Amino acid sequence: MPELPEVQTVVDDLNKKIIGRKITGVWFDTPKIIKKPKAKDFEKNIKGAKIESAARRAKNILIYLSGNRLLLVHQKMTGHMLVGKWQKTNSGWKSLLGGRFDEKVNGYIHIVFFLDNGQMLVLSDLRKFAKVLLGPREEIEKMPALQKLGIEPLSKEFTFEKFKTIIKKEKRKIKAVLMYQEKISGICNIYSDEILWEAKVHPFRPANSLNDSELKKIYLATGKILKRALKLRGTSTSDFRDTAGVKGKFGEVLNVYRREGKPCPRCGAVIVRQKMGGRSAHFCPRCQILK
């Protein structure tokens, strides 16, 4: 699933590519993706809207529209927001931009927003798990799913004292806490592994067992890893592509995530993978000792 760096990369792209454009029409073939309003009313409620700005909250893309409207898109596991030009064919949508869009994103387009400059904003999703909501800004922003989200780890409010307060109360494993969206939003499997490797903290350590020095290392590693991932435009070890269908480059510098059986870049020990609930934790057993 796209995490904070991937979603922010998409949002940054949208702010460069589609701001000021007007939505002239909509096509879709999978009504279940549209959660609000009813699919039959979706085009009527969005047609003619001008795109004013895009923002991110956790893993949600927020597209602010004229008329006090807000379009929320959650890409889920395999969703992609793309900007370009396509042609409808009997077998699906064909990109008019050649090889920029591979089959992973080009073959599973389920929503198309037609823009007034001839381009399209599309949602591609292999598994069809993505969700789209449209409504008044205040109504969407006050949805429980957004209101219960935790602090943004790259915000000014994310101070060490705030971070320490969050972690010290938790008995769960530190990796689980970093991924718990109601505490800290936007971090999931990839970046929790990378952050904890950077901080030399074992992912199975109970969060409330960490001392201030260890917490400081995790806090600093969080900013360092997320900022570097943003600079490299995300990780594409699985499905992520940016709005041009291009892979992110952070996957080329991963230290532990999906590197089980390979040597640790720091000490040379073999990286291991262990199950943690329904997820996996990747770590170096020598650098990250379970105390």
Instruction: Catalogue the active-site residues.
Output: 2-3, 59, 279
Torsion from C-alpha of 162, 6, 88, 15, nearest 10 degrees: 70
What's the one-letter identity of residue 270?
V
Helix pair angle (212-231, 160-168), 10° resolution: 120
What's the one-letter identity of residue 134?
L
What three-state secondary structure class fits 80? Answer: strand
Which of 48, 61, 49, 123 lies closest to 93 in space, CA to CA?
A: 123
Residues 132 and 76 sit within 8 Å (Cβ to Cβ): no
- The two tokens of residue 264 are 């640790």
Q: Which helix (H) or strand (E) holds 56?
A: strand 51-57
What three-state secondary structure class fits 15? Answer: helix
Residues 136 and 72 sit within 8 Å (Cβ to Cβ): no
- Phi and psi at 194, nearest 5°, equal -70, -40
